[in-house]
Amino acid sequence: MAPRLVILDRDGVINQDSDNYIKSLAEWVPYPSAITAIARLSQQGWTVAVATNQSGIARGYYDEATLESMHTRMLSLVEAEGGRIEHIAYCPHISEDRCDCRKPLPGLLRQIQDALALDSLEGAWMVGDSYRDLEAGAAVGCRLALVRTGKGERTLAKHPELGRTDSEAEVHDDLAGFVDQLLQGNLDT
């Protein structure tokens, strides 16, 4: 049986993204509908985790304490709406570091699997705004959803096959739209 788990990318899915990186708490601007959507998932018995590349740390744009302040704010907003994020996994590296955690590699998702003591991520959901999010999810057997927020529209332009009806990825306007369909039972196949 597939775990009732939704793994979310952060920037572009939960909060506004920037090509110049989200470097401070002031720049971390959540989508209000995403915070509510996460709370709704939790309230309906779904486990929510976050897997996020944060190469801005390795690039020297911000430090781990700053990242922690963003995550503390995110957790408190979700909790204020009656929800919970069970685990946040992040990769502080750049590609040249050759780590195993930077998406599109599945290391972050494996960290989530270990943290939640799951035998497998087969059938869990991976929701992202980039192709690398979907690649990471596919590598561990997740069902895939792409949101149009953040870099989602650019991802669709580069990979139009994702928008076809025979695509393995569901495409939604935003996280709230995905959650609406999931909770209505329209995505469980």
Q: Which pLDDT score is estimated for 97?
A: 94
Q: Which pLDDT score is estimated for 188?
A: 61
Q: Which residues contact 37 (CB under 8 A, 6 or more apart)?
A: 175, 176, 178, 179
CA distance 91 to 115: 15
Q: Which pLDDT score is estimated for 153?
A: 97
Is 100 known as a binding-site position?
no
The per-residue pLDDT for range 57-101, each reduced to its tens digit, is 999 999 999 999 999 999 999 999 999 999 999 999 999 999 999
Is 99 known as a binding-site position?
yes
Q: Which pLDDT score is estimated for 2?
A: 72
Supply the DSSP string of the chain, one letter for each residue: ----EEEE-SBTTTB---TT---STTT--B-HHHHHHHHHHHHTT-EEEEEEE-TTTTTTSS-HHHHHHHHHHHHHHHHHTT----EEEEE---GGG--S-STTSSHHHHHHHHHTT-S--TT-EEEESSHHHHHHHHHTT-EEEEESTTTHHHHHHH-GGGGSTT-SEEEESSHHHHHHHHHTTSS--
**Contact in structure between 139 and 103 (CB atoms under 8 Å):** no
Is 63 known as a binding-site position?
no
| Catalytic residue annotation | 9, 11
Q: Which pLDDT score is estimated for 3?
A: 81
Residue identified by tokens 């700053």 is: 66
The rounded Cα 11 to chain-centroid distance in angstroms is: 8
Is 9 known as a binding-site position?
yes
Residues of the chain with pLDDT under 50: 189
Q: Which pLDDT score is estimated for 1?
A: 63
